[in-house]
Amino acid sequence: MLNHELTTELCETKALIELELSKFVNSLENKLAPQVEYALLSGGKRLRPLMVLLSAQSVGGDRKRGVPLALAFELAHTSSLVHDDIIDKDVFRRGKLTLYNNWSANSAILTGDLLIAYAVYLASGYGRRIIKIFSQATIELCQGEHMDLTLKPDSKEKEYFQMIESKSASLFQAATSCGALVGEPSRKEFSCLSNFGKNFGIAYQLRDDLLDLEPSEGQVSKDLKKGRVTLPLIHLYSVSNSSEKEDIDENLLSANTKNKIKSDSAIKIILKKLEETGSIAYAEKKVDEYFQLAITNLAPLKDSPCKLSLLQLSKLLKKEGNRLK
């Protein structure tokens, strides 16, 4: 996403979020403050806090009033990334050592816990309905993460979508829903923004899963190396016969070896099968469907710079396919 393509509203809102995150970090009096700073200020597109503030303003809410809630969503998201890196054994995130590699796994676990505690604290000032939606989303996020670990190539497509609805869409939907409640939305406006967040989140995760299959700087798919199951692999398995399924299973095992040559070779075989069977094209079609749904969800809202910015986020993500984590 290129800065010159962003609306003025998006640029100003993102700048405000960055400023408020820095203020939050500088206000901390905690022995884990350096770790919190490292995790929070290492970049990112700030999609979830953007959606909180843009949703609030699109229904007449005050942007300043929504800032602590927007920060709460970024803290919750960052907490999940800190813990994900430990689970996935990732060495780098956004070009820097992951927090647990820079300090330790124990330190990273505690930092993630602290971030979610601060997130709840920031959200708690907005009343029961908002804190309930926020808390439910973080519960679903954890459930989705666990489902992600248990999916297999022979899992049903329905199970995959249940997983990404919990793992990714839940926090986006909560961000737009809670953001709307910062204003005074009509029932219709609340429903429009809530559904937008959900469908945006589903499209976002589908796109992110597809991006992992594209070669990057000589690296092959991290997801396949880890044995992580995504929609293209589920589709491939579903259209394969018994013999082909055995080949897929064998290559997945090979992809998870410590022998880089053998691993890369196995992944390339799977990627070729994904292309030949139309499994990648199938997933790309689903991405388009959910982005279109998200855009359609916003149609009933009154036209405003904030509505335009929400639409632009969807269109840019769809157009560029940026890895917006």
CA distance 56 to 63: 7
Q: Would you kindly state where each structural domain of the chain is located, as residue ranges?
A: 3-320
Q: What is the CATH number of domain 3-320?
A: 1.10.600.10
Q: Tell me the pLDDT of the chain (325 aa) as tens digits.
A: 444 457 888 999 999 999 999 999 999 998 999 999 999 998 888 999 999 999 999 999 999 999 999 999 999 999 999 999 999 888 999 889 999 999 999 999 999 999 999 999 999 999 999 999 999 999 999 999 999 999 999 999 999 999 999 999 999 999 999 999 999 899 999 999 999 999 999 999 999 999 989 866 567 888 898 889 999 999 999 999 999 999 999 999 898 887 888 888 999 999 999 999 999 999 999 999 999 999 999 999 999 999 999 999 988 877 765 433 4
Q: Provide the pLDDT for residue 37.
A: 97
Other C-beta atoms within 10 Å of 188: how many?
10
Crossing angle (nearest 10°) for helices 305-320 and 187-212: 20
Q: What pLDDT sits at residue 324?
A: 39
Contact predicate 72/138, CB 8 Å = no
DSSP code string of 97-157: E-HHHHS-HHHHHHHHHHHHHHHHHHHGGG-HHHHHHHHHHHHHHHHHHHHHHH--TTS-H
At position 128, the amino acid (one-letter code) is R
User: Which pair of tokens denotes residue 46?
Assistant: 């700030």
Burial class (CB in 10 A: 0-12, 13-18, 19+), 308: middle
Neighbours of 296 (CB within 10 A): 13
Please report the pLDDT score of residue 43 as a whole number.
85
Q: What is the pTM of this model?
A: 0.93
| pLDDT of res. 217 | 59
Angle between helices 105-123 and 63-88 (to 10 degrees): 160
